[in-house]
Amino acid sequence: MFSKTLFATTAAVLGLSAGIASAENPMVGGAAMYADKTIVENAVNSKDHETLVAAVKAAGLVDVLNSEGPFTVFAPTDDAFGMLKEGTVEALLEPAAKDQLANILKCHVVGADAMSMAIKGMIDDDGGVHPVPTLGTCTLQATYEGDKIMLEDERGRTITVTIADVEQSNGVIHVVDRVILPPQS
C-alpha cells in the first residue's frame, strides 16, 4: 500500500514538474522546449525545424550550438526554407557547400542571450533600429511593432519573429518566418 502511494505521488510530482517545465516555454513544432536542454537538444524535437537541424548537422555546427554559449538563435522553420528558390536547400546540404551553409546559419546566431524585451530595449535606446552583428557575415537591423520583432537582412528582406523567448540552457531561440541571407557578393 505504501509503495503504491509513494509511486503515485512520485508520478504525480514528476508529471507536474514536466508540465511546469513545458509551461515555461512555448511549444515549438508540436514539441515542448525545455530550458535545461541545449539549442540542438530542443531543436531536434521540433517538427517545424527538421531542415534547420539537417543544415546544422551538414554545416558541422552541432558542437558549437551544443556548447555553453550563450547564443541567440533566430530559427527559421521548414516553411521558411521552403521559400528559398527551388533546389537551394538541396544544394546547400551538399558537402561542397559546407562553408557557404555554415555562414548562412551563423547569420542566424548572435553571441549573446537576448530575450525579446532586451532586444526591444536596445531598439528603443537606438532610436527605433538596432544593429545586430551575427556570428556570420551579417549585421541585421532589428525593429519592432507592438509585440512583433522584425529583422532586416543585408538584402533588404524582412524576417519576423513568430515565437519569441524560447529559453535554452545555452541561450534563447526566436522562431522566424524566413531564412536570413548574407549580403550578395
Q: Give the pLDDT of the chain (185 residues) as one tens digit per residue.
A: 433 433 333 333 333 333 334 447 787 888 888 889 999 998 998 899 999 999 999 999 999 999 988 999 999 999 999 999 999 999 999 999 999 999 999 999 999 999 999 999 999 999 999 999 999 989 999 999 999 999 999 999 999 999 999 999 999 999 999 999 998 76
Domain assignments of the chain as residue spans, ordered by start: 2-176
C-alpha 129 chain-centroid distance: 21
* 66, burial (CB in 10 Å: exposed 0-12, middle 13-18, buried 19+): middle
Please, which residues have CB within 8 angstroms of residue 81's CB and are 6 or more apart in sequence? 51, 52, 55, 89, 179
Structurally, what CATH architecture does the domain formed by 2-176 represent?
Roll (2.30)
Residue 71, beta-bridge partner list: 171
- Pairs from 54-62 (Cβ < 8 Å, separation ≥ 24): 54/93, 55/81, 55/89, 55/92, 55/93, 55/101, 55/105, 56/105, 58/92, 58/93, 58/95, 58/98, 58/101, 59/98, 59/101, 59/102, 59/105, 60/98, 60/102, 61/102, 61/105, 61/106
Find where cell 534563447 sits.
172
